[in-house]
Amino acid sequence: MVDLFDILIGKEGEKGYKKKSVIVQGITGKFGSFHTQQMIAYGTNIVAGVTPGKGGQKFDGVPIYNTAKEAVDASGAKISVVFVPAKFFLDAATEAIEAGIKLLIAIPEHVPIRDAMTILDLTKKKDAIMIGPNTPGIIIPGIIKIGIMPASPFNVGNIAVLSRSGTLMYEVSHNLSAAGFGQSISLGIGGDPINGTTVIEAFDMIRNRTNIDGVVVVGEIGGDSEELLAQHIIDTKFEKPVVAYVAGRAAPKEKRMGHAGAIIYGNYGSAESKVSMYAKANVPVAKRPAEVPMLLAGKLGRKKS
């Protein structure tokens, strides 16, 4: 199993420590180019870009290659962030994983389920990780930002934020930062029905880190990842404080609420089902984003005393 922090930060004394190389697939597109600049400004080490047909050119000093293989061969990068349109995601992601990418951050929205599942199969065979699709990305405040999130909501600290929604990840992190709770990592799971890395997998990747005092899980209606996580917390006797938020209590059934994954069928995916499972796991659920830091303070305070 690949260690997420190892890929993102590395080990002290090792080459590239806190300066891990990242390539951008779709670097010359509207979003790709804008966010490449934003990532570089944050300090992320963007070493190469991929745009078929533009090999040999440069974008803001970053060399562009025609294929992911050339970009990986030239840079040795193990991380790729993908900005290509959903229709081209399958090809771009396949190329990246085949070229040796170990962490694929899949930004595009509207990727077909079958394509996401195909890439998921491939990552398993190649011992790689996919985050997303339809994710804002990952940020380790102060060290690395890979994705489309603004930098301002995030502060250095010891809380891990896992979120199924992009803007809610910013909103909740912003509220946490304002209350003095910085983040050791904020990770977007993605809003699609099939996640390359599930909430539970992400949870297990971070649970034993010593720089994490508590976990905030931002969820929404649809699927059963909150229910499964709650059961997982019970089964594995996780003892650090966990606080949750679930969006979509007021959403009607059988209507897709923006995210492909945010849909309730019967009771499957309903907010009530999630909240009641969290209660069993002793995880308080905030009624609104601003309540998250209050609940977390309560949990942390109680634990200290």
Partner 1 sequence: MRLLEYQAKSLFSDYGIKIPKGLTSTNIEKGRKDAKTLGFPFVIKAQMPVGGRGKAGAIQKCHNADEFELKYAEIMQKVVKGEKTRAILLEKMADYKKELYLSLFLNRGKRCYTLIASSEGGVEIESVKNQVIREVGLGNVPKSTSEEVAKAIGLKDNSIQEFADLVQKLSKLTIEKEAELTEINPVAVLADGTLLALDGKVIIDDNAMFRHEELKKFQEVSELEEKAEKSGFSLVELDGNIAVVGNGAGLVMSSLDMLSDHGGKPACFLDVGGGATTETVYEALTLISKMKKVKGILVNLYGGIVKTTTVATAFIRAYENKIIDVPVFARLSGAESDKSKQMLSGSKTRLFDTVEEAINAAVIGVNKNG
Residue type, 240: K
234-260 burial by CB neighbour count: b if 16+ within 10 A, else e? Answer: eeeebebbbbbbbbbeebeeeeebebb
Q: Minimum Å distance from CB 180 to partner 1? A: 18
DSSP H/E element including 74: helix 68-75
Our CB check for partner 1 shows the closer of 280 and 288 to be 288
Q: Which of residues 225-244 bind partner 1 (CB under 8 A)?
A: 225, 228
Active site residue 232: no
Cβ closer to partner 1: 25 or 165? Answer: 165
- String marking each residue 102-141 x if it binds partner 1 according to CB under 8 A: -------xxxxxx--xx-xx--------------x-----
Task: Report CA-CA distances (Å) from 109 to 74, 113, 145, 193, 220.
Answer: 29, 11, 19, 11, 17
Strand partners, 22: 46, 79
Of 178-217, binders to partner 1 (CB under 8 A) are 191, 193-195, 198
Binding status of residue 289 toward partner 1 by CB under 8 A: yes
288 binds partner 1 (CB under 8 A): yes
Burial 34-47 (b: 16+ CB within 10 A, else e): ebbebbbebebbbb
Report how many residues bind partner 1 under the rule CB under 8 A.
65
Active site residues: 259
Task: List residues near partner 1 by CB under 8 A.
Answer: 38, 86-87, 109-114, 117-118, 120-121, 136, 148-153, 163-171, 174, 191, 193-195, 198, 218, 220-225, 228, 245, 247-252, 254-262, 266-267, 287-290
